[in-house]
Amino acid sequence: DAGVTQSPTHLIKTRGQQVTLRCSPKSGHDTVSWYQQALGQGPQFIFQYYEEEERQRGNFPDRFSGHQFPNYSSELNVNALLLGDSALYLCASSPSGRGYNEQFFGPGTRLTVL
Amino acid sequence: GNSVTQMEGPVTLSEEAFLTINCTYTATGYPSLFWYVQYPGEGLQLLLKATKADDKGSNKGFEATYRKETTSFHLEKGSVQVSDSAVYFCALIRGGGTSYGKLTFGQGTILTVHP
A103 interaction partners in chain B (CB closer than 8 Å): 46, 93, 103
Determine the distance in angstroms separating the CA of B93 from the nearest CA of chain A, rounded to an integer: 7
Q: Round to whole Å and give the CA distance between B59 and B13.
A: 20
Q: Which residue has the higher pLDDT, A44 or A98?
A: A44
Burial, A91: exposed, middle or buried (Cβ in 10 Å; 0-12, 13-18, 19+)?
buried
Q: Nearest Cα to B113, choosing from B15, B16, B9? A: B15
The reported pLDDT for the residue numbered B99 is 54
CA terminus-to-terminus distance, chain A: 37
Question: How does residue A97 score in pLDDT terms, banded at 50, 70 and 90?
Answer: low
Give kind and range of the element (H or E) at residue A74. strand A74-78
Contact call for A105 and B43, based on CB within 8 A = yes
Contact B6, B104 (CB under 8 A): no
pLDDT tens, residue by residue, B68-102: 999 999 999 999 999 999 999 999 988 655 556 78
